Amino acid sequence: MDQPGSEGTTFFKAGEVRRTKCSYHERQIRHRWWLSIASHRFAARYSHFAVAILLLAAPILPGCVSARNIQEPISGAIEVTLPDSTRHVIEAAESAIADEGVGIELSDRKRGFVESEIIDIGAVRAMADRSSYHPAERSVRFRFWTRPTFGGTRLSAEVVYRFMGANGGRAMERMVPSDHAGREVLARMITRIEIRLREGRESRKQEAQKAPPPAS
């Protein structure tokens, strides 16, 4: 015969198997215990999946969420120092873009800035294979910035694409990869800029030599 005991506890005869009635406090302890075991088992089983996802996403997330300053040259732009005025450098950059058969969308000589239209990289001459490019990598723009420096001009040259496609604005632009065909075209443009500026310096020097000396 059962004997009364403390709350939540039942005593019974030897050999009898009966289900005891747990108090609310005991049920809460058991519930927390089971939750603790379950959470540890879940973490042990799926933690490697979480680590794999983070490792794959790490190189992508910073580029997806960070926006660049559109008032400055892009990170990774090619920089060259030239012994010429910003006006002459901008003029040479405009000519280099036009020589590739690419239209100019914006030229601001006051700010020392010129950029091409967005084009399909397949429209310009390049040795690199472009058949495997992602659609977003095919649409590129060439851009040149100039900054006065001691004795000349600092030229920043870039070829960019919008890695988010049509949904991304200028702030979502990135420099094309190092093996992209746009780099080949950009290097050709820079060479033409340097040649044009050198020819301009020689021409101005010859004109100065031909000029009559000032009257005494």
Query: For position 196, which CATH number holds?
Result: 3.30.530.50
Same domain, 106 and 53: no
Q: Are residues 43 and 90 in the same domain?
A: no
Domain-embedded: residue 11: no
Range of the domain at 177: 72-203
Burial (CB count within 10 angstroms: exposed 0-12, middle 13-18, buried 19+), residue 108: exposed
> Alpha-carbon distance 27 to 42, whole Å?
22
Same domain, 46 and 110: no
121 and 31 co-located in one domain: no
Burial of 118 (0-12, 13-18, 19+ CB in 10 A): middle
User: Quick one: pLDDT at residue 156?
Assistant: 98
Task: Judge contact between 112 and 147, C-beta under 8 A.
Answer: yes
pLDDT of residue 45: 53
Query: Distance between CA 5 and CA 189 in Å, rounded?
Result: 95
Residue 114 belongs to some domain of the structure: yes
Tokens of 21: 């009635």
Q: Percentage helix, strand, coil, to 5, in the chain?
A: 45, 20, 35
159 within domain boundaries: yes
Q: What was the pLDDT predicted at 30?
A: 63
Q: What's the gap between Cα 177 and its chain centre?
A: 10
Q: Which residues of the chain have pLDDT under 50?
A: 1-12, 16-19, 46-65
Question: What residues are paired with 12 via a beta bridge?
Answer: none
The single-letter code of the amino acid at 129 is D
Tell me the two tokens of residue 20: 């005891």
Contact (CB, 8 A) for 90 and 146:
yes
Domain boundary among 34, 58, 82: 58
H/E stretch holding 205 reads helix 181-210
**Tokens in use for 28?**
């809460």
Secondary structure of residue 19 in the 3-state scheme? coil
- What's the one-letter identity of residue 146? T
CA separation, residue 50 to residues 37, 46, 56, 57 (Å): 19, 7, 10, 11
Residue 9's closest CA among 1, 21, 18, 17? 21
Question: What is the pLDDT, as a whole number, of residue 106?
Answer: 95
Q: Structural domain tally of the chain?
A: 2
3-state secondary structure of 17: coil
| Residue 9 resides in a domain | no
Q: 152 and 130, same structural domain? A: yes
